[in-house]
Structure 1
Amino acid sequence: MLGISGFAHVSFTVSDLERSEAWYTEVLGLVNVREMRRDGYTKVILEDPGSGIAVSLTHHGDKNSGDSFSEFRTGLDHVSFAVPSVAELERWRERLDKFGVPRTEILPTRTGAVLIFRDPDNLQLEFYAAEGSVDEEGRPTAKWIHAFPPVTD
């Protein structure tokens, strides 16, 4: 049977590679593990030292439009990073505040809790803790159901 066991990486097109690399390394604590320069683009691969999750940042040279991200255009809506607990969400909230990153409060959902924020290109990111997931009747569930407001500046 065919299957998917996880994801290899997520790749974001950015308007300013240096600015974005600095933000992802300083704010999220990712580390640069590889840089690539090819005809027409430059890319850095960043990795979370604890989980091994990789985030690729790509600048497409003169083909880059420079537009800010919008989840209202066809394509990516947001990326959500799993964290182990609501207590960890609280620590991330403190870290985002330390760096002046706009964010929501920690929002309860039927499947846990979420903290929503934006990167320098306005890409919506989330930290998500699946602690305390319940269905519409309040029963424990593994089903993923939630609705919450967007982050705005």
Structure 2
Amino acid sequence: MTTPTPTPGIHHVTCIAGDPQQNLDFWVETLGLRLAKRSINQDDPSTYHFFFTDAKGTPGTSMTFFPWSDLPQGKVGTGQVSRTAFRVPNGSLDYWEDRFDQYEVEYDDRVGRFGETVLPFRDPDGLPVELVAVEIPEDDPTVPWDEFVPEKHAIRGFHSVTLWEADPQPTEDLLQTMGFEEVGTEQSAGDDPADERTRFAARGPVGKYVDVLPTIESSRQGRGTVHHVAFQTPTDEDQAEMRNAVQSQGLRPTNQINRHWFRSVYFRESGGVLFELATNGPGYDSDEPLDELGERLVLPGQFENRREEIEAGLPDVTIPRADSAEADD
């Protein structure tokens, strides 16, 4: 078998929310991410699909949501992405704690992890999220969106995801097949139910880490949980190589599926977490100008002729807008 081109890291993370307006308000206004795409769940067009990113929709910055208002609360547990972490510039955590106080966001005490400082918090649906203070390199590919949060404090794409696994070894082997390298193990901190976590690193710099914890906790998918995590396979050739490598480990990847802004392959890793392999193109600006991203409901090709029906079934939402003073704070 040909060794696949290593993944650069996380492409996007897709989660389940409840009320769509509450989801928009929190991720745009409170956290300061850009609504780069307002679309539908292509497998359930009666539901929105929101994409929150940096200013340009750079791969490795997309936190996306399916807001299913009638879905019950989920429970984070084994076989799930238990935490999603974002990078913020060093020195920003005081700002974020003050902002969380202002917006009444539930957050926990800071913890140290692999030499970095982590601020855990939850979104309105109870989704566990973290901010990790890091040094942002001058050539970093992310472009901060500063409509609500000043550039010097803005979120700069993913830092990591944490996987809870009953038997970590097969998952760790898979990550190494995908191009992640084990970089260390340390005692867990915060509210993790396990004694230690093992970290794996991709080429980076954005979304480069996956942490694996051995734990047995009951889980239930629903509001406040991660639906799947996607990893970058930038080209179709990269994706085909990775798909073959995954299949050779006894897993069952789908054929390539066209998701309009990228092309995808899905599979469940041995512990039950849904993984996706996603190309980097054609990108979020392939069907609307960069300066107009998120302004309108975009319906991927085959759904456009059902626009009237689909729009009638979706709840009205309002995109939060900043007054010019706030971003200058």
TM-score tier by shorter-chain length is: 0.7 to 0.9
Q: Which amino acid aligns with 2:63?
A: V
How far apart, CA to CA, are the structure 2 residues paired with 1:98 and 1:105? 17
Give 1:41 deviation, angstroms: 2.4
- Counterpart residue number, 2:17: 14
Specify the SS of the correspondent of 2:21.
Answer: helix
Specify the SS of the correspondent of 2:39.
Answer: strand
Q: Which runs of 5+ in 2 are unaligned?
A: 136-182, 193-329
Output aligned runs, 1:79-94, within 5 Å.
79-85=84-90, 87-94=91-98
Q: Which runs of 5+ in 1 are unaligned?
A: 132-141
Give 1:146 deviation, angstroms: 5.3
Give 1:4 deviation, angstroms: 0.6
C-alpha contact 2:36 2:52 (8 A) present in aligned 1: yes
How far apart, CA to CA, are the structure 2 residues paired with 1:130 and 1:56? 23
How far apart, CA to CA, are the structure 2 residues paired with 1:143 and 1:130? 18
Pairing 1:72–2:77 present: yes
Offset from partner CA, 1:35-62 (integer Å, 9 cap, x none): 113524211111123884111111247x
Q: Which amino acid aligns with 2:66?
A: T
- Counterpart residue number, 1:58: 66
Change (3 A) 1:129 1:15: same
Specify the SS of the correspondent of 1:2.
Answer: coil
Instruction: Indicate the structure whose relative CO is greater, using CA pairs within 8 Å and at least 6 residues apart.
Output: 2
How far apart, CA to CA, are the structure 1 residues paired with 2:134 and 2:38? 33
Specify the SS of the correspondent of 1:149.
Answer: coil
- Counterpart residue number, 1:102: 106
Offset from partner CA, 1:88-110 (integer Å, 9 cap, x none): 12221121111111111222334
Q: How many correspondences in the alignment?
A: 137
Offset from partner CA, 1:4-36 (integer Å, 9 cap, x none): 113221111111121111111111101212111
C-alpha contact 1:110 1:146 (8 A) present in aligned 2: no
- Counterpart residue number, 2:123: 119
How far apart, CA to CA, are the structure 2 residues paired with 1:102 and 1:14? 16
Q: Which amino acid aligns with 1:41?
A: T
Taking structure 2 as the reference length, the TM-score comes to 0.38
Q: Which amino acid aligns with 1:101?
A: V
Taking structure 1 as the reference length, the TM-score comes to 0.75
- Counterpart residue number, 1:147: 188
C-alpha contact 1:40 1:60 (8 A) present in aligned 2: no
Give 1:130 deviation, angstroms: 4.9
How far apart, CA to CA, are the structure 2 residues paired with 1:25 and 1:31? 6
Q: Which amino acid aligns with 2:72?
A: G
Offset from partner CA, 1:95-148 (integer Å, 9 cap, x none): 1111111111222334211100001111100011257xxxxxxxxxx6464522
Tell me which structure has the larger Cα radius of gyration: 2
- 23-32 vs 48-57, which moves further: 48-57
